[in-house]
Amino acid sequence: MLGLITRGAAQRFGMTPAYISPAGWPLSYQELDQISDEVASGLSARGLKLGDVVSLLLPPGLEYLVSYVGAAKIGAITAGINYRLTANEQLAILNNADPKLVITTVGGDSFGFPAVELTEADSLNNLSAEIREPDSAPEILSSDPNRPVAIIFTSGTTGTPKGALYCNRQLEFITQTDVGDNWGGGTLSFTGTSFAHLGFMTKLPGNLKRGGTSFIMKTWSAKSALDLIAREKMVTIAGVPAQIALMLRHPDFDQYDLTSVQNIIVGGGPVTPGLAENARKMFGARLATRYSCTEAGIGLGTSFDDPEEDAILSVGRPLASVSLRVVDESLNDVEPGETGEIALRSHAVMSEYWRDPKATAAMFTPDGFIRTGDLGWIDEQGRVRLVGRSKEMYVRGGYNVYPVEVEAVLSTHPDIANVVVIPQSDPVMGEVGVAFVIPRAGRPVVTLADLHRHAGEQLARYKLPAAILKIDDLPLTAGEKIDRATLAAILSATPAPLDPEFTPDANVR
């Protein structure tokens, strides 16, 4: 279906720029269709056929785009690999995917798989020239909803990445959910994350149907994003929470003319209330959130027309096509208002984990819901409130503490720009929380006592952090999420000193 939509977009939008390369030159919808045809023919000439896997070890760019569309046009399966991963991490993913061909810009033959190395293009003439068959096109494939299209690998923050397999039927359902039968209506936007992730791989067909123009950022930075937003007068911007936070913290933020921005979409992780409120205020725009996971495809969200507090306090409600459960460890539904694991079901969920039937079975409930691994509860208005990952929860003095719940309260302190809570081993309580805090520029230095006073009326005493560490920047994973493992390693190597006034036995409850 990706090939058909690319052809349809070419017919409707012609020479309208679809994507702008990191170097600043455009690729139109018509050119995307033609060049991806030539890439498809080139892949066929190299022996790739229906059902074969091609791995793309490429940075965000037009090379990735035309390779993905070209592979889909011959029925090959694209396994994207985040180029920011280490060589060992990339090799682990390649061994799982077992591709017939690796397309890369970094000497992929060193991985032991057949590979073609592309030279980064500086014009349409040499875009993916190494794998193009000029003036050729593949035969149009017959429709098959169960034909695999993409393998999307998880972030691997809790183990070896696993590949979620998506077929035509999932992409068709996601596209229908996003844009329906409509064509057009697209605006200017930018891409700021790896193309190997869920967002680009599953939403590309819908984005092509919108007919907008997207600027590709090979390497995202707050300055380059703000420059682009201001220069192009963008109306809607999107990013993961860390990217929004970094833009708000940029020292020259107030110097930019951002009055064009009307809408902000945040996804890829939980948004703290403090960040949500600051983003709305500083951009002067409406905020909407999106929540899903690599395996679920689509999930929950808030809309721009919802009450403002929805995006501040929650990840919203299930989309109309999504079923939601909150379950305990036995996969039974918890009582309303109780915390449990979020489980999602729709026609968008992955078919399976690639070459891993055991992990596939563990991911699904008997009635077909995907277990997200996220913990949360449903409030009285039907909104889902996240409290953290099941593997992030820690036990302090016999009580469960969910870091995201604590961060949500601490983030609203006026002297804090960002905060993350990480557990630290303690000989008395078992584990206690340590707050890694990024201070807000120009504000007083926040202390542990300040945090306790601020959060004391909203959180039980046992949930409050036992120590505070100030930090200039939070480490991020290759997927632009906060790297909690690195922060935990810091505490393991050098435990944070507990505040002298913190007496664990007196603060159990």
Which CATH number characterizes residue 437's domain? 3.30.300.30
pLDDT score for 156: 60
- Among 207, 237, 255, the domain boundary falls at 207
Structure tokens at 90: 């990339």
Residue 162 maps to a domain: yes
Nearest Cα residue to 197 out of 147, 138, 267 = 267
DSSP letter string over 163-189? Answer: EEEEEHHHHHHHHHHHHTT------EE
Q: Which domain holds residue 415?
A: 392-506
pTM score > 0.85 for this model?
yes
* CA–CA separation, 117 and 342 (whole Å): 42
Nearest Cα residue to 291 out of 261, 262, 313 = 313
Strand-by-strand arrangement of the 26-28 sheet: 26-28, 17-20, 213-216, 188-191
Residue 103 maps to a domain: yes
What is the CA 83 to chain-centroid distance, rounded? 15
Which residues, 6 or more positions from 358, have their beta carbon under 8 angstroms from its beta carbon? none
* Half-sphere exposure for 426 (CA within 13 Å, toward CB): 25
- Tell me the pLDDT tens digit for each residue of 263-308: 999 998 778 899 999 999 999 999 999 999 999 999 999 999 999 9
Q: How far is CA 87 from CA 55, 114, 131, 141, 273, in A?
A: 14, 17, 24, 35, 37
Structure tokens at 451: 């945090």
Residue 76 maps to a domain: yes
pLDDT score for 506: 41
Please give the backbone phi and psi of residue 384, each rounded to the nearest 5 degrees, phi first.
-90, 125
Q: Residue 80 in contact with residue 150, Cβ under 8 Å? A: yes
Nearest Cα residue to 103 out of 6, 215, 195 = 195
- Tell me the pLDDT tens digit for each residue of 391-440: 888 888 888 888 988 999 999 999 999 999 999 988 878 889 999 999 99
- Among 154, 188, 207, the domain boundary falls at 207
Nearest Cα residue to 245 out of 411, 104, 120, 364 = 411
pLDDT score for 504: 45
Structure tokens at 403: 């870091």
Which residues, 6 or more positions from 94, have their beta carbon under 8 angstroms from its beta carbon? 55, 57, 81, 102, 111, 113
* CA–CA separation, 117 and 143 (whole Å): 32
Q: Residue 242 in contact with residue 482, Cβ under 8 Å? A: yes
Number of neighbours of residue 380 by Cβ within 10 angstroms:
7
Q: Residue 85 in contact with residue 478, Cβ under 8 Å? A: yes
Q: Report the relative pairing of strands 213-216 and 17-20 from DSSP bridges.
A: parallel
* Stretches in the chain below the pLDDT threshold 70: 107-110, 156-159, 500-509
Q: What is the CATH number of the domain that holds 94?
A: 3.40.50.12780
Q: Which helix (H) or strand (E) holds 104?
A: strand 101-104
- Among 178, 207, 236, the domain boundary falls at 207
Q: Report the relative pairing of strands 17-20 and 26-28 from DSSP bridges.
A: antiparallel
Residue 274 maps to a domain: no
Residue 200 maps to a domain: yes
Q: How far is CA 10 from CA 32, 72, 291, 305, in A?
A: 8, 16, 31, 33
* CA–CA separation, 278 and 320 (whole Å): 29
* Half-sphere exposure for 376 (CA within 13 Å, toward CB): 25
The torsion defined by the Cα of 375, 380, 381 and 384, in degrees rounded to 10, comes to 0
Which residues, 6 or more positions from 320, have their beta carbon under 8 angstroms from its beta carbon? none
The total of structural domains in the chain comes to: 2
Residue 335 maps to a domain: no
Q: Which helix (H) or strand (E) holds 265?
A: strand 263-266
Residue 324 maps to a domain: no
* CA–CA separation, 216 and 132 (whole Å): 22
Residue 313 maps to a domain: no
Q: Residue 275 in contact with residue 326, Cβ under 8 Å? A: no
